[in-house]
Amino acid sequence: MIEITKNDYDQVEGKMDKAISNLQENLNAIRAGRANPHVLDRITVDYYGSPSPLNAVANIQVPEARMITLAPWDPSMLKEIERAIQSSDLGITPTNDGKIIRLVFPILTEERRKDLVKQVKSYGEETKVAVRNIRRDAIDKMRAANKKKELTDDSLKEYEEKVQKITDKYVKKVEDTCSDKEKELMEI
């Protein structure tokens, strides 16, 4: 007979935490009309032959609510950084004064806000599916042990109930996170 331990539940929660942090990364990449340095997290620049994240080759600051400045550690990297930003899906044209690069975020239109809210909802649904798949995999594993008579019916039932409670908690987290991002997007 195997015994269900706290570690079994911790593994389920750990996987669900990863799904939530993945959702958070996706939401951070959505620009909400306000300057958020996280929109640059996925952009890499060719730094002497190796792809490097922007924050490794430049100082990133937010001097105003709708502007980000990038000051490269190495001034020869200005053109390379500018090229990387232009080829990204950011949708902002960088301006370069020879020392720093400025990114000015335009005010979002109502239509664009609604599109971004749809994108947030899509990310939320994907994350909920991921959380439910984690639940299903965990329960299937214990059901297999139950079929092999390695786990009692009562233990299986208790495990299913606890995993469902954990799942409900994470689905609520997903909904709250997406709701907060939607409010942020719809603010003018």
The CA distance from 177 to 27, in Å, is 9
Tally of structural domains, the chain: 2
Q: What is the pLDDT at residue 31?
A: 67
Q: Are 172 and 19 in contact (CB under 8 A)?
A: no
For residue 160, pLDDT beyond 80: yes
What lies within 8 Å, CB to CB, of 165 at 6+ separation is none
CATH at residue 181: 1.10.132.20
Kindly report, residue by residue over 17-62, the tens digit of the pLDDT.
Answer: 999 999 998 888 776 667 778 878 888 888 888 888 888 888 989 8
Q: Which of 51, 83, 104 lies at the terminal end of a domain, its last residue?
A: 104
Tokens of 137: 């995999």
What lies within 8 Å, CB to CB, of 23 at 6+ separation is 123, 124, 126, 127, 174, 177, 178
Q: Are 65 and 26 in contact (CB under 8 A)?
A: no
- 132 pLDDT band (50/70/90 cuts)? very high
- 66/157 same-domain check: no
Instruction: For residue 48, give its domain range.
Output: 37-104
Mean pLDDT of 127-156: 92
For residue 14, pLDDT beyond 90: yes
Q: Which of 62, 89, 104 lies at the terminal end of a domain, its last residue?
A: 104
Q: What is the pLDDT at residue 188?
A: 59
Average pLDDT over all residues of the chain: 88
